[in-house]
Amino acid sequence: AAAYQDLGVAYSEQKQYKAAIETFHRAMTLLPKSPAPHYNLGLVYLKQGNFAPAILAFKRSIVLAPDFADAYNGLGESYLKLGRFDEALEAYGKADQLNPNLLSTHYGLGQVYAKQGNYEQAITAYQSVIEIQPDYPDAYYNLAQVYIKLGKKEDAAKAMERFETLRKTDPL
């Protein structure tokens, strides 16, 4: 049964999403109490841009494992992509409560706050990303964008300079 789970992940990594979806459904029937196939199915739907089924899959995963921070994070990202910011904040908040070191949660929070115009909170979120992973270029880029919105040109220039340095050493 776990082999189906691993096979589905392999299909997903190769962008063979139809095969991944079929394999995760098979894993669900063999592992009915496992949150992993639902979570991974949610990730596939998220990669495809199918956010409504992604939300359902992440929610099923959470029902089976209420303390699964990554599932809340996926749920938050799905809501973010749909522009449902309050629900995204709620999901990301729960993910952060369960695992404060989950980089993608802080990054997602930064995106939501920036889109809502809550720039100070966005700065805090992006700084948390940088604390977790100091060489994450996108955090510096987004931080620079937020500083620009606040008219903090010097801070924006420093963040953009750091982004450019990281991008040169590790091209996107």
List the pLDDT tens digit at each of the 172 positions of the chain.
788 888 999 999 999 999 999 999 999 999 999 999 999 999 999 999 999 999 999 999 999 999 999 999 999 999 999 999 999 999 999 999 999 999 999 999 999 999 999 999 999 999 999 999 999 999 999 999 999 999 999 999 999 999 999 988 865 5
pTM of the model: 0.91
Burial class of residue 21, CB neighbours in 10 A (0-12, 13-18, 19+): buried
Q: How many CB atoms lie under 10 A from the CB of residue 136?
A: 19
